[in-house]
Amino acid sequence: MIFRWLANSRRRSRVRRPAFTLMELLLVLALMVAIAAIAWPAIRGSFDTQRLGKAADQLRAAFGKTRVRAMRTGAIHVFRFQPGRGGYGSETWTASAEEVVSAATAAGGIASGPPIPTATAPPTSSTDTLPDGIVFHMAEVTVDARAANLLGAGGQGGDGETAEWSSPIFFYPDGTTSNTHVVLANERGQAIVVTLRGITGLSLPSDITSLEQLAR
């Protein structure tokens, strides 16, 4: 009885299970491709959203570095970007000591902290680009009395303002800056606003929205 059971077990073990046919494999592959095609827009949208948030963090870091550089060197620095593109940079504002004093006097009670030093620093420049697919859509820069005096005095940083670059965002040695709202956008029409607060010099990002909602 035992030997018969062992013999039957061996026979059953030798029985081959049916394999998948080529048609079945092709059908499964087609289903996987269809599911991937349906899910890809959502996956890509998530990647685009993350990239936009990363761009905002990168811009905030650039603002912070420019502010620290201005405070450390005792010279006014400016930040510019390329509208419709992703390039940006910061550099020393090459104004004379008299122009800097004039700007500090015009500030009056607007700026907090110590007066703007009249010491000059060697010109410095730093350029970078936003992540792929992210551009500077637009910006609102408040021109206060200090900025107006500096712009009117004719000082400039580097090559100055051109059609390819935005108007300057000022960073002063006392830690204050120009009040600024910068809108970053991606190819899907998503947008995020980075706000630079003039008195504190700190920057904050908004929630991710759309260009259509911002236009309302």
Type of residue found at 119 = A
Alpha helices, DSSP H only, in the chain? 2-14, 22-73, 97-107, 145-153, 211-215
Looking at the DSSP assignment, which residues form a beta bridge with residue 79?
A: 90, 169
Q: What is the pLDDT of residue 199?
A: 93
DSSP character for 75? S
Q: Which domain holds residue 116?
A: 53-215
Q: What is the pLDDT of residue 52?
A: 93
SS3 label, residue 148 = helix
- Please report how many Cα atoms fall inside a 13 Å half-sphere around the Cα of residue 75, on the Cβ side: 22
* CATH number of the CATH domain containing 205: 3.55.40.10
pLDDT digits (tens, 9 = 90+) for 9-53: 555 555 555 666 767 677 777 777 676 666 556 555 567 888 999
| Residue 25 placed within a domain | no
Q: What is the pLDDT of residue 13?
A: 54
| Residue 1 placed within a domain | no
Structure tokens at 173: 């040695």
Q: What is the pLDDT of residue 179?
A: 95
Produce one character per residue of 125-144: b if its CB has 16 or more CB atoms within 10 Å, e if not. Answer: eeeebbeeebbbbbbebeeb
| Spans of the chain below 50 pLDDT | 6, 96-98, 100-101, 103-105, 107-123, 157-162
Count of positions (residues) in the chain: 216
Of 76, 95, 107, the closest CA to residue 152 belongs to 95
SS3 label, residue 131 = coil
Q: What is the pLDDT of residue 89?
A: 92
| Residue 46 placed within a domain | no
Q: What is the pLDDT of residue 136?
A: 95
- Please report how many Cα atoms fall inside a 13 Å half-sphere around the Cα of residue 114, on the Cβ side: 7
| Residue 83 placed within a domain | yes
| Residue 143 placed within a domain | yes
| Residue 79 placed within a domain | yes
| Residue 129 placed within a domain | yes
Q: What is the pLDDT of residue 77?
A: 93
Q: What is the pLDDT of residue 165?
A: 87
| Residue 41 placed within a domain | no
Q: What is the pLDDT of residue 60?
A: 96
Q: What is the pLDDT of residue 150?
A: 83
Phi-psi region for residue 148, left (φ > 0), alpha (ψ -120 to 50) or beta? alpha
- Please report how many Cα atoms fall inside a 13 Å half-sphere around the Cα of residue 44, on the Cβ side: 10
Q: What is the pLDDT of residue 21?
A: 74
Count of domains forming the chain: 1
